[in-house]
Structure 1
Amino acid sequence: MITGAHTIIYSADAAADRALLRELLPDGRAVDAGGGWTIIGLPPGEVAVHPTDGAPQHELYLMCDDVEATVADLTSRGVVFEGGITDQGWGLLTTIRLPGDGSLGLYQPRHPVAAG
């Protein structure tokens, strides 16, 4: 029986990215796995499989109820975003810039949500 999913983000500055994720996910449970390895709990999630003509890839998106309010709140706390908010039809999308040179998607879904 599957009991959960574990997501790994590779980073050039893991400590800074962990700190930002603690800021983004303040209600998430975090544990110290030893040796400085912090594992941060995520909100309920879902997985989708999209077709591709190229090499398979994986992406991580955080979801919110109001992307404009969330971006304003996080920006006021020093979180950096790339580009603006775009309307993709299926939702309103923006990108969070991670300190370790990575990124996370943030979107307000307009489709039915399986996470609960």
Structure 2
Amino acid sequence: MINGAHVILYSQDAEADRAFIRDVLAFPGVDAGGGWLIFKLPPAEIAVHPTEGAPQHEFFLMCDDLDAQLGELRARGVEISRPVSEQRWGRLTAVRLPSGAELPLYEPRHPVAHSL
């Protein structure tokens, strides 16, 4: 029986991004050995979108109140790397990880499945 999902973020500065997830986002985690941290994620959901191009995968964090969440992140010194945009499915932005990569964050305006 499938009992979870394991998401992998590839990073050019994995140690700094792991510290960000641990210290700034405050996700609890385990040390799988040798400082290799694996974090507990909030409840998740998966969607499958059609594409004409090469298949790809995306990872977004979700929140109930984007403005409040951005305020908390700014107070912790997090760079908001994209202005909030209104999409038909929700409000979207992204934060900058220490490695320079972006981590998208959105407030859904669609029914969510993560709490079913």
Secondary structure, counterpart of 1:74 in structure 2? helix
Number of residue pairs matched?
Answer: 114
Aligned-partner SS, 2:71: helix
Percent sequence identity over aligned pairs = 58
After TM superposition, what 4+ stretches of structure 1 lie above 2 angstroms from structure 2? none
**By how many angstroms is 1:29 displaced?**
3.0
Deviations, residues 84-111 of structure 1 (Å, cap 9, x unaligned): 1100011000011111122211000010
Match of 1:3 in 2: 3
Residue in structure 1 matched with residue 19 of structure 2 by the alignment: 19
In the alignment, the residues of structure 1 paired with residue 51 and residue 79 of structure 2 have an alpha-carbon distance, to the nearest angstrom, of 29
Q: Name the CA distance, whole Å, in 2 between partners of 1:82 and 1:101.
A: 10
The TM-score, its normalising length taken from structure 2, stands at 0.93
TM-score by length of 1: 0.93
1:58-73 to structure 2, matched below 5 A, reads 58-73=57-72
Which range moved further: 31-40 or 15-24? 15-24
Flag structure 1 segments of 5+ consecutive residues without an equivalent.
none
